[in-house]
Structure 1
Amino acid sequence: MPHTRSAAHPRHDALLAEWNQLLRRCQEEAARDTGPEPGDAPDPQPYGEQLLERWAEPQRRYHTVDHLADVLARATELTAYAHDPDTVALAVWFHDAVYRPDRSENEERSAQLAERALAEARVGAERIADVARLVRLTVTHDPAPGDADGEVLCDADLAVLAGDPASYAAYAAAVRAEYGFVPDQDFRTGRAAILRQLLDLPHLFHTPYGREQWDRTARRNLTTELELLEA
């Protein structure tokens, strides 16, 4: 991953510092597990810069640096439920690193990017495999029973559904803007199908905190959006 400088974002420096600390921890853990390798592990910063550059791409309206920061914050909020919080955090950084709204393979390409970049950065193979697995899980947001890290990642990613009315309206508008190339009727039909699918789930969230704190509000927001789409 070559070094590039992301567009100036108010949280750029703080996010980059957070990334640097995260990747260094994972590099150090891998070195302890496998023994020293020739040369030093790569500098984390170029990897973080390129990830932030990806999250700032112009085609994004919802899947932006703000979304990355929000999901990282929610994952931190759910740390107590995670088996390996650092693996979850790496998965958050990569889960929408490749994003084109007109493509269906974004999660797979994001997972492949994680596999390549983290191997180059000398993160441990077991952790890389789990990061990629978690990124691919965001296709369905349906972790298997007992998958603590999957539950945390999925809940953190969907926590936007439980925002206050103004925040949820901004989220819905950003999603529509990302799909601006889709005609209105087609968008309404497709979006309504997604909302009904979510509302049909027995649980939108998997962690005890998510179920208690977010589920009811999220269902109210989804129901309101669906009613507006079908009006």
Structure 2
Amino acid sequence: MTLADRWPLDDADDLRDELLAAWDRAGYHDQLHLAEVLDRLELLADAGARFDPTTVALAAWFHDAVYDGAYDDEERSAQWAERALPAPYDDEVARLVRMTVHHRPADDDLAGCALSDADLGILAAPPERYAVYVAGVRTDFALVADDDFRAGRAAVLADLVAKASLFHTPQGRELWEERARDNLARELEELRRG
């Protein structure tokens, strides 16, 4: 099945194609990232997580649709969703996209918890994939000097490690928490060593 086949709406192929073009870029935030987020949403649903699959899949398609390293990427992605999607999806998808700025959904936000977990699930990747992910993130920030990148990346990872749990669904915690914490600890140690 191609990524295009995974588009959740039946009557918006032009929008799907615009999004596919937006995701067609180098770095971590590429079409592979989108496909992996969609894969992890399916894993969560299969494991028993409850959320509206169409709405959350649309949020996955939009969550990094605008990605150029600017501080307001998520906001511009959310605004695109508001303009492009029909009701009832527009407002909820935009809300979910905005939630991905900090990945801290409310405990009773089933859709937000699922999207956050699926997006952060890369943190639990096997070592080879995790290394490719880290290299992709560095590509995303190629214009940032090495020392500044290391400091910024370490701050982001330290913020994640400080969370009581990286994942918000019971299924996400069971599937990914332990391995993600191991990966983060290893990467933080590498960043500290320079």
- Which TM bucket (shorter chain)? over 0.9
User: How far apart, in 2, do the equivalents of 1:129 and 1:82 lie?
Assistant: 20
Residue in 2 that maps onto 1:23: 9
TM-aligned CA deviation for residue 82 of structure 1? 3.0
Amino acid in the other structure paired with 2:57:
A
- Aligned pair 1:68/2:56, yes or no? no
Among 20, 28, 43, the residue aligned to 1:52: 20
Contact 2:107 2:168 (8 Å CA) reproduced: no
Write the deviation string for residues 71-96 of structure 1: whole angstroms up to 9, x where unpaired. 01111111232331110000000001
Q: Which has the higher Rg, Structure 1 or Structure 2? A: 1
TM-aligned CA deviation for residue 16 of structure 1? 1.4
Calculate the aligned-residue CA RMSD, in Å.
1.2
Residue-pair matches, total: 191
TM-aligned CA deviation for residue 17 of structure 1? 2.2
Among 62, 66, 76, the residue aligned to 1:94: 62
User: How far apart, in 2, do the equivalents of 1:136 and 1:51 lie?
Assistant: 17
User: How far apart, in 2, do the equivalents of 1:15 and 1:168 lie?
Assistant: 22
Residue in 1 that maps onto 2:121: 159
TM-aligned CA deviation for residue 201 of structure 1? 0.6
Task: Provide the TM-score with structure 2 as the length reference.
Answer: 0.95
Structure 2 unaligned regions, length at least 5: none
User: How far apart, in 2, do the equivalents of 1:62 and 1:170 lie?
Assistant: 8
TM-aligned CA deviation for residue 163 of structure 1? 0.6
Structure 1 unaligned regions, length at least 5: 1-10, 25-42
Write the deviation string for residues 34-87 of structure 1: whole angstroms up to 9, x where unpaired. xxxxxxxxx421111110000013xx3000000000001111111232331110
Q: Which stretches of structure 1, 4 residues or more, deviate above 6 A after TM superposition? A: none
Amino acid in the other structure paired with 2:44:
L
Amino acid in the other structure paired with 2:16:
G
Amino acid in the other structure paired with 1:61:
G
TM-aligned CA deviation for residue 166 of structure 1? 1.1
Residue in 2 that maps onto 1:202: 164
Among 134, 143, 147, the residue aligned to 2:109: 147
Write the deviation string for residues 165-192 of structure 1: whole angstroms up to 9, x where unpaired. 1111111111111111111111111111
Contact 2:123 2:180 (8 Å CA) reproduced: yes
Write the deviation string for residues 101-124 of structure 1: whole angstroms up to 9, x where unpaired. 2x0000000000001111xxxx32
User: How far apart, in 2, do the equivalents of 1:84 and 1:180 lie?
Assistant: 36
SS of 2:179's equivalent? Answer: helix
Amino acid in the other structure paired with 1:111:
A
**% same residue:** 50
- Aligned pair 1:134/2:120, yes or no? no
User: How far apart, in 2, do the equivalents of 1:78 and 1:140 lie?
Assistant: 20
